[in-house]
Chains A and B, each alone.
Chain A
Amino acid sequence: MATNRQAAASTNPWRAPILFAILAILFVLEGTVRNSMFSGSWNTSLAILNMGLLSAITALGVNMQWGYAGLFNVGVVGFLAMGALAPVLVSLPPVEGAWAAGGTRLLLALAVGVGTLAMAKLAWTRTRSGILTALVLIGGFVAYRWLFDPAVIAIEANNPARHGNIGGLGLPVLLSWVVGGVFAAAAAWAIGKVALGLRSDYLAIATLGIGEIIVAVMKNEDWLARGVKNITSIPRPVAQEVALQRNPEFVDFAASWGFPAAEASGIWVKLSYMSLFLVVLLVIILLAELALKSPWGRMMRAIRDNETAAEAMGKDVTRRHLQVFILGSAVVGVAGAMMVTLDGLLAPTSYNPLRYTFLIWVMVIVGGSGNNWGAVLGAVTIWFLWIKAEVWGPALIAMLTGPMADGPVKAHLLDSAPHMRFIAMGAVLLLVLRFAPRGLLPEK
């Protein structure tokens, strides 16, 4: 790719503040004005903002991969899901009897599985004998299943109505955010090791695969996170609404601002989440900006803009790509862990690639690839529009079809309004890619 994506002339320095201000006004309108376009509820407004901030963190991770290095990750949903496992495995209270039922055997099985892969790799690099490698793999697989199957049956039989899973470690939920990043980074290492250094399309296809498989594992491995039976009651790092409503001090405090206690408690909880998310977001942006301005960042951009030249300067392109791919995925994993913490619920069926991979991509491209603030702006804006399109879309269709005679065609169009979101998002992606490829906030 010999395309220089940096701005030729310096752009207006007020551009970013103005765009962020417009976005802020939209959220204030959503919180205060009640009409056909806005809900007038601070709870709704803050809920959109919180999810928007999490999307922003995800977009930052994707932006590291795409904006810094030109890597196309089509498995964002998988890395989010990988991160989402962390709160379940780290911060849920331990399930009684699960470890005794088969925990050790399970760990042993997983160790055998990983060991088999390592042995196979060793066998292949040392001897280059396909037969030996295949034998190692087959033997390892048999041993793995022999250990794994009884352990899983035992764990899933343990109080299946309420648990049937291995349970967590009972550690603080904030720690699990970091662990989520580590989980996603591990998956990224495995996939990057294989697919990087080959044709650029291959990484896209391989990540598409790993994304689907991670979600499939989450749906079907009941011992891990109860599969489609969902995990509820993930510990939360902030106060409970009910506890706040029972607290007379808080009720007085809310009354002094003119809010009923029920509404105020919701707003309080959302504000607490928001401050947590903002801290994480700002730390990641700070680190990302520092990295981008360091010699490392210049090297990454040099590699992205001209791989051949960078290689001639002695840079190990594949290694650098692997590095940035792992870093970006780790950030996505952190966001995944934060998402389940916000929801308090892990529902594997909700991990839909259209929503969690491709929508994130629209955010990154619209915001301005290569610019961290752009990714944040794009993420929050697109998320706001995506949520509001649920209300605005049908209204728009109703307005457009107003003059039409009532009939099956009109009814069909009105029914299919929710699907318009997909067309709109695709169209936005295509239009931005074509007419403003540097996005709302171009790379500096």
Chain B
Amino acid sequence: MDFLNALVVFLNFVFIPAAAYGAQLALGALGVTLIYGILRFSNFAHGDTMAFGTGIVILLTWGLQSLGISAGPLPTALIALPFGIALTALLVLGTDRAVYKFYRRQKAAPIILVMASVGVMFVMNGLTRILIGVDEIRFDDGARFIIAVRDFREMTGLEEGLALRSTQALTVGVALIVMVALFWFLNRTKSGKAMRAYSDNEDLALLSGIDPERVVRLTWIIAAALATIAGTLYGLDKSFKAFNYFQILLPIFAAAIVGGLGNPLGAIAGGFLVAFSEVAVTYPWVKVVGYLAPWYEPGGLMQLLGTEYKFAVSFVILIVVLLFRPTGLFRGKSV
């Protein structure tokens, strides 16, 4: 029984939150890694693209809610999501036209593109602030819980309760669908193959008649879609605050680098690795240990690192990977 209680505590406080967070990070890292693979620079504006996309989705959600449209038990934001993606894609394509295209033509050094992306980040940050402000916004509606703590206790008779919030299940579900769709696109469709070919060898791809501008446009659209979905899921799960999306940039980069920049499969693995380490390291294990080893008095919370330092976890992972395997676990690109 104690073992089951420990397991429930573990699931409730570590596994489920980490899985949801991991799915959000994985989607974000997929966007970063795709842009790296095709355009060959680390996009610092990705976090703010996520914030902008989420901002649009929130505005549309409010619009739908005022019209009385809802998705029943699901959050209304899901209906708004496709329109949010479309608008964000338009903005991102616009920035590509206005900013990045010039440097691509010039074949500028990657670091110049990184710097330009910092400029874009500033502008997008300002746009998001004007669009929706800097306050914390909760926009999840519909059913809150799939399994509520009390129901679970009554159902199983265990001492510990398990809560599964609908946003958590939704996050993992949507992320899985998106990932499957993305891999299907990259591996099975002609456009996806063109993208992979371009990523592998630009010159050879050009030689075989692949239109580079089309590949770049596709990449931006997919990246915008991934960013908006990741941002919306993150906002539904936690809450929307523009500055948080700047801060999530570090775990996203860490995830993309751990998996190997430019490697989509690696980005997913990296996202979950970073999320699980972050939650596991900052979770106070005292309760789990209390069930597993009741004779042991830890005399503390058994927390390896305070939650304030959760970003340190992604950073340490990043450093370890840079030290021992700079191309990432799944062998990404090296420029």
The answer to whether A195 and B112 touch (CB under 8 A), given A210-B315, A212-B247, is no
Q: How far is the CB of A94 from chain B (nearest CB, A)?
A: 27
Chain B contact patch, size range = 35 or more
The answer to whether A216 and B130 touch (CB under 8 A), given A353-B246, A429-B118, A433-B115, is no
Across the interface, which residues of A come within 8 angstroms of B334, CB to CB? 199
The answer to whether A202 and B121 touch across the interface, beta carbons within 8 angstroms, is no
Which of B141-149, B183-191, B228-236, B306-314 lies on the face that meets chain A?
Answer: B306-314
Mostly, the A contact residues are helix
Which of the residues A70, A206, A358 comes within 8 Å of B318, measured between beta carbons? A206
Q: How far is the CB of A389 from chain B (nearest CB, A)?
A: 12
Mostly, the B contact residues are helix
The answer to whether A361 and B42 touch across the interface, beta carbons within 8 angstroms, is no
Across the interface, which residues of B come within 8 angstroms of A335, CB to CB? none
Across the interface, which residues of A come within 8 angstroms of B130, CB to CB? 413, 416, 419-420, 423
The answer to whether A426 and B123 touch across the interface, beta carbons within 8 angstroms, is yes
B:92-116 near A, CB below 8 Å: 99, 102, 108-112, 114-116
The answer to whether A209 and B318 touch across the interface, beta carbons within 8 angstroms, is yes
A-contact 0/1 string along B118-130, CB 8 Å cutoff: 1111111111011
The answer to whether B123 and A423 touch across the interface, beta carbons within 8 angstroms, is yes
The answer to whether A216 and B311 touch (CB under 8 A), given A199-B334, A201-B42, A416-B129, is yes
What residue of chain A has the Cβ atom nearest to residue B323's Cβ? Answer: A194
B319 is an interface residue with CB less than 8 A from chain A: yes
A:292-335 near B, CB below 8 Å: none
Across the interface, which residues of A come within 8 angstroms of B125, CB to CB? 354, 422, 426
Across the interface, which residues of A come within 8 angstroms of B122, CB to CB? 354, 358, 422-423, 425-426, 429
The answer to whether B112 and A198 touch across the interface, beta carbons within 8 angstroms, is no
Q: How far is the CB of B211 from chain A (nearest CB, A)?
A: 25
Across the interface, which residues of B come within 8 angstroms of A267, CB to CB? none
The answer to whether A423 and B127 touch across the interface, beta carbons within 8 angstroms, is yes
B253 is an interface residue with CB less than 8 A from chain A: yes
Of the candidates B99, B124, B312, the one having the most CB atoms from chain A within 10 angstroms of its own CB is B312
Which of the residues A74, A195, A209 comes within 8 Å of B44, measured between beta carbons? A74
The answer to whether B129 and A419 touch across the interface, beta carbons within 8 angstroms, is yes
A:68-115 near B, CB below 8 Å: 70, 72, 74
Q: How many residues of A contact B (CB 8 A)?
A: 45
The answer to whether B319 and A199 touch across the interface, beta carbons within 8 angstroms, is no
Which of the residues A1, A212, A419, A422 comes within 8 Å of B109, measured between beta carbons? A1
The answer to whether A212 and B123 touch across the interface, beta carbons within 8 angstroms, is no
Across the interface, which residues of A come within 8 angstroms of B207, CB to CB? none
Which of the residues A219, A413, A420, A426 comes within 8 Å of B119, measured between beta carbons? A426
B192 is an interface residue with CB less than 8 A from chain A: no
The answer to whether A213 and B111 touch (CB under 8 A), given A206-B322, A426-B125, A429-B118, is no
The answer to whether A426 and B318 touch (CB under 8 A), given A204-B111, A209-B311, A213-B311, is no
The answer to whether A72 and B114 touch (CB under 8 A), given A209-B250, A209-B311, is yes
Across the interface, which residues of B come within 8 angstroms of A422, CB to CB? 122-123, 125-126, 129
Of the candidates A201, A204, A217, A423, the one having the most CB atoms from chain B within 10 angstroms of its own CB is A201
A:410-425 near B, CB below 8 Å: 413, 416, 419-425
Across the interface, which residues of B come within 8 angstroms of A413, CB to CB? 130
What residue of chain A has the Cβ atom nearest to residue B332's Cβ? Answer: A199
A434 is an interface residue with CB less than 8 A from chain B: yes
A:347-367 near B, CB below 8 Å: 353-354, 358, 361, 365
B195 is an interface residue with CB less than 8 A from chain A: no
Of the candidates A70, A195, A199, A427, the one having the most CB atoms from chain B within 10 angstroms of its own CB is A199
B:78-96 near A, CB below 8 Å: none
Beyond A70-B111, A365-B115, A419-B130: 15 further Cβ-contacts under 8 Å? Answer: A70-B109, A200-B111, A205-B257, A206-B318, A208-B253, A209-B250, A209-B315, A212-B250, A216-B312, A419-B126, A420-B130, A422-B123, A422-B129, A426-B124, A429-B122
Question: Which A positions have Cβ atoms within 8 angstroms of B?
Answer: 1, 3, 70, 72, 74, 149, 194-195, 198-202, 204-206, 208-210, 212-213, 216-217, 219-220, 353-354, 358, 361, 365, 413, 416, 419-427, 429-430, 433-434
4 nearest A-B residue pairs (beta carbon): A426-B122, A422-B126, A423-B126, A426-B123
16 example contacts (A-B, Cβ-Cβ < 8 A) are as follows: A70-B109, A198-B326, A201-B42, A201-B111, A201-B114, A204-B42, A206-B315, A206-B322, A208-B44, A208-B250, A358-B121, A419-B126, A422-B129, A424-B126, A425-B122, A433-B119
